[in-house]
């Protein structure tokens, strides 16, 4: 199992980005959460199989219709960070 934190920058708020991430992550069987940041970015933490996380990362670079992703920053976390991550994947408010 792998755990990753992503910060997605660009036009990613107000365009259904969190919903898009939640649906993609659930389809990939990932645990975790996604939320908007005050600076306009979207941040998420996801855990699951490394291949599923690689797929999610590719999805993040594309985004839903009407979004424009300018940067995706990935940080590897430890399995300790996966403790308590919600399943199914959810949107934090």
Catalytic choice (4, 18, 26, 58): 18
Residue 18 annotated in active site? yes
Query: What does the alpha-carbon distance between residue 77 and residue 32 come to, in Å, rounded to a whole number?
Result: 13
Residue partners of 86: CB distance under 8 A and separation at least 6: 31, 32, 33
Q: Which of 4, 7, 36, 75 is catalytic?
A: 36
Q: Which two tokens stand for residue 80?
A: 């300790």
Angle at 15 between CA 77 and CA 83, to 5 degrees: 20
Residues annotated as catalytic (active site), given as ranges: 18, 36
């Amino acid at each position: 199992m792998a755990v990753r934190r992503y910060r997605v920058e660009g036009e990613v708020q107000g365009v259904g980005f969190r919903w898009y991430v939640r649906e993609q992550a659930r389809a990939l069987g990932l645990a975790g959460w996604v939320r908007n940041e005050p600076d306009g970015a979207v941040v998420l933490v996801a855990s699951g199989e490394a291949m599923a996380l690689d797929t999610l990362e590719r999805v993040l670079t594309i985004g839903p219709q009407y979004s424009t992703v300018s940067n995706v920053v990935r940080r590897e976390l430890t399995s300790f960070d996966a403790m308590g991550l919600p399943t199914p994947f959810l949107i934090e408010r």
